Structure 1
Amino acid sequence: MERLKVFDESYTYVKEASRDEVHRQGLWHETFHCWLIDDEFVYIQKRSATKKDFPSLFDITAAGHILATETVMDGIREVEEELGLVVDLTKIHSKGIVQDIIRLPGFIDREFANVFIYQSTYKPSQFLLQQEEVASVHAVEKSVLVALFFTELETVLCTNIFDGMTSEIGLSDFVPHERAYFEQIALLLK
């Protein structure tokens, strides 16, 4: 059973709790969010259809909970586990903490998201996706994704990096992060 550190709304440590308890009670906890970018594109993942939470939706390139026994930097394991990439620590940059709340019936996800930007030079052949977590990885032009996150566009085109297939997606195709989260990420991606 995963155990997470629980915080108050000021990011002061309170206790440990199970992941289920954290989401059922809407307790603040830490997550790791890593956005892979290059000069032109932002890379987003499409979650596996078998995921318990938010199956088949688009999301952060790699993300996950930081366990009670881990530091924030241990979250890098998410990039390695989900995408099969070896992380070059000289290319990953912390952009601080963004608060994010997702509310669904019986589920409240209150996150202190530790956001990182990773300057990617990976080729599609270097990815080895964890199939139970990630269905595919897609490239979106950076300026276009920023406009979508600011709701200046309703839809954007994304391209599957493995087969070149394009899809038209909107914010409703993403995990339902708060609008403020998307806007703060857009500022960081600019």
Structure 2
Amino acid sequence: MNFIDIINEDGEVVGQQDKDLVHQLGSWHRAVHIWIINNKREILIQKRSPNVDAYPNLWDFSCGGHVDADEDLLTCAQRETQEELGLTDVLSLKFVFLFDFKDSFTLNGGKYINNEIDSVYLVSLDSSNLKISMQTEELSQIEWVNYQELEKRIIEHPEGFVPRLYEYQKFFKYLMTYFVEHSVK
């Protein structure tokens, strides 16, 4: 069993529940979304496995997942980056918190109910010597995409992406500020 913290809509922990039960009952919980950008202004995106319950075969953020019971957000972000992408030196990466948002949806005829507060992070790194070992249980493909091309793809072909319009808009808006502040060319 994999237990995660159950929260109220204000984000306060009110108990713990098995992860599988959380989505059957629609209990509120937390998750992290990590966007990884390299020194060429490319963003790492993942295509979700055909075997996952939520949004199989759709493109999504670099990596992410549910916050385990008694786990803090940063530790979860580091763990998910290591598990899904095989990056072993996650403690040396700088995870920049961007924003939180609430996400609620129901899939599979009501069998999968998701109510979560998502915390979004950005990691900037040099990808020239990066070795990624993709977790094939949850991911079927990864790709580095220029940020402008990715934004264009999401706008022109939203059906190919997990429907996170609010997150995408806010993330790309943040990137413009990030590039100015960090003089990323």
Give TM class, smaller chain: 0.7 to 0.9
Contact 2:43 2:147 (8 Å CA) reproduced: yes
5 Å matches for 1:123-134? Answer: 123=128, 126-134=131-139
Q: Which residue of 2 aligns with 1:45?
A: 46
Secondary structure in structure 2 of the residue aligned to 1:126: coil
CA distance in 1: counterparts of 2:133 and 2:143, whole angstroms? 14
Alpha-carbon offset, residue 25 of structure 1: 2.3
For normalisation by structure 2, the TM-score amounts to 0.81
* 1:175 maps onto 2:162 in alignment: yes
Secondary structure in structure 1 of the residue aligned to 2:159: helix
Amino acid at match of 2:52: K
Contact 1:98 1:184 (8 Å CA) reproduced: no
Contact 1:99 1:112 (8 Å CA) reproduced: yes
Q: Which residue of 2 aligns with 1:56?
A: 57
Q: Percent identity?
A: 29
Alpha-carbon offset, residue 88 of structure 1: 4.8
CA 1:188 to 1:110, structure 2 compared with 1: closer, same or farther past 3 Å? Answer: farther
Structure 1 stretches lacking a partner, 5+ long: 155-169
Secondary structure in structure 2 of the residue aligned to 1:137: strand
CA distance in 1: counterparts of 2:128 and 2:55, whole angstroms? 27
CA 1:73 to 1:4, structure 2 compared with 1: closer, same or farther past 3 Å? Answer: same
Q: Which residue of 2 aligns with 1:69?
A: 70
Alpha-carbon offset, residue 79 of structure 1: 0.7
- Answer 1 or 2: higher relative contact order, Cα 8 Å, separation at least 6: 2
5 Å matches for 1:16-55? Answer: 16-38=16-38, 39-55=40-56
Which of 77, 84, 95 aligns to 1:82? It is: 84
Secondary structure in structure 2 of the residue aligned to 1:138: strand
Amino acid at match of 2:147: K
Q: Which residue of 2 aligns with 1:163?
A: none
CA distance in 2: counterparts of 1:124 and 1:59, whole angstroms? 23
Which of 81, 98, 110 aligns to 1:95? It is: 98
5 Å matches for 1:158-169? Answer: none
Contact 1:146 1:189 (8 Å CA) reproduced: no
For these two proteins, the number of residue pairs brought into alignment is 171
Structure 2 stretches lacking a partner, 5+ long: 177-185
For normalisation by structure 1, the TM-score amounts to 0.79
Q: Which residue of 1 aligns with 2:122?
A: 117
Q: Which residue of 1 aligns with 2:13?
A: 13
- Poorly superposed stretches of 4+, deviation over 6 Å: none
CA distance in 2: counterparts of 1:36 and 1:22, whole angstroms? 28
CA 1:108 to 1:185, structure 2 compared with 1: closer, same or farther past 3 Å? Answer: farther
